[in-house]
Amino acid sequence: MANQATLILIKPDGLKKSLTGNILTRLSETKLEIVAAKIARASKELAEEHYQHLKDKPFFKEIVRYICGELHNRRKVMALIYWGEDAITKCRQLAGSTNPEEADPTSIRGSYGRITTSGVYENVIHVSANEADAEREIKLWFQPDEVIVNLYPTKEVAGKERKIKTWA
Ligand code: IDP
Ligand code: MG
């Protein structure tokens, strides 16, 4: 099995519950390499794009609000790319099933997830489901310069001269 990349998001409930360390510790069992990491904010547009495959589901609006941080008053996620052999299966295995009540209780979602009274699966972590999703999602959440390996082909485009912010 060749090296794969997968997008991991520690969702707003994971951050609010102060689970960042616990989740990263669990993921370190995979012995995969972290090749990008940041705290990021999902705009509504980014969230809708991220969950585009679920846009016809009755819970679509709520999961968009969830990943944007509106359910937790914590408008951020931690976004990481894990890279290595069989990364997607390894990370999804550790994350556990989508429904946290059905997830293996020793998995990340089984340990820390819950179903809210309004029916949202709050499952603390996102892991890309397959290689095509991983590529699509990584390109949504990260720019090439933010990743320390070359995952996908890039191109140079002539930018309009623009101001960049630097430390004063
Ligand atoms: P995944 O995160 O395990 O890949 P997806 O089907 O891609 O599962 O769903 C994205 C997210 O939407 C889930 O992680 C969960 O937070 C939420 N979700 C999925 N299915 C349901 C459902 O049936 N009810 C409520 N929330 C759901
Ligand atoms: Mg998914």
Full set of structural domains in the chain with CATH: 3-146 (3.30.70.141)
Share of the chain above pLDDT 70, in %: 100
Ligand 1 atom nearest 115 alpha carbon? 25
pLDDT, average across residues 48-63: 98
| Nearest CA among 31, 143, 28 for reference residue 86 | 31
* 2 DSSP assignment: -
Global pTM value:
0.96
CA of 129 to the centre of ligand 2 (A): 5
Assess whether 72 carries a catalytic annotation. no
The answer to whether the CB of 123 is under 6 A from ligand 1 is: yes
What local confidence, expressed as pLDDT, does residue 160 receive? 83
As to burial, measured by CB atoms within 10 angstroms (0-12 exposed, 13-18 middle, 19+ buried), residue 37 is middle
In DSSP terms, which residues pair with 40 in a beta bridge?
Answer: 77
Distance of CA 80 to the CA centre of its chain: 7
Q: Ligand 1 atom 18: the closest Cα is on which residue? A: 121
